[in-house]
């Protein structure tokens, strides 16, 4: 199975419901889920950015759970968000590593 990434903007008012559905799903909940304020990525929407990294089956489940409550992010915007999240995670890992030096 190939691991893949999906990114969605979920309006803040529906986010608790979507988050609960994602975390209750047996397959989706075992994937890597990242939640960030969409404003961190230049969005003007009052939304939460959800990044899901996992199997194709999990991403299909997540898409069904999110449905019309969220907007998928695609193309260059998605690539930019994935890179920014990756860079943030790398910076945290490097900072954590200095604790043990």
pLDDT at site 75: 95
Q: What's the start-to-end Cα distance of the chain, in Å?
A: 37
Asked whether residue 2 carries a pLDDT value surpassing 60, the answer given is no
Assign domain 4-99 one CATH number from 1.10.630.10, 3.30.70.120, 1.20.900.10, 3.40.630.30: 3.30.70.120
Is the pLDDT at 101 greater than 60? The verdict is no
Q: What is the pTM of this model?
A: 0.86
- 24 against 93, higher pLDDT: 24
Domain residue extents for the chain = 4-99
Q: What is the pLDDT of residues 60-81, one digit of tens each?
A: 999 999 999 999 999 999 999 9
Backbone torsion region of residue 45, taken as left when φ is above 0, otherwise alpha when ψ lies between -120 and 50, otherwise beta: beta
Longest dimension (CA), the chain: 48
pLDDT tens profile 14-64: 999 999 999 999 999 999 999 999 999 998 889 999 999 999 999 999 999
């Amino acid at each position: 199975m190939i691991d893949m990434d999906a990114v969605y903007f979920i309006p803040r008012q529906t986010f608790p419901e979507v988050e609960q559905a994602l975390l209750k799903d047996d397959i989706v909940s075992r994937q890597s889920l990242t939640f960030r304020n969409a404003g961190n990525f230049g969005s003007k929407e009052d939304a939460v950015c959800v990044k899901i990294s996992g199997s194709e089956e999990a991403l299909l489940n997540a898409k069904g759970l999110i449905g019309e409550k969220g907007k998928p992010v695609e193309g260059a915007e998605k690539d930019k968000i994935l890179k920014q999240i990756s860079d943030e995670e790398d910076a945290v890992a490097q900072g954590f590593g200095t604790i043990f030096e």
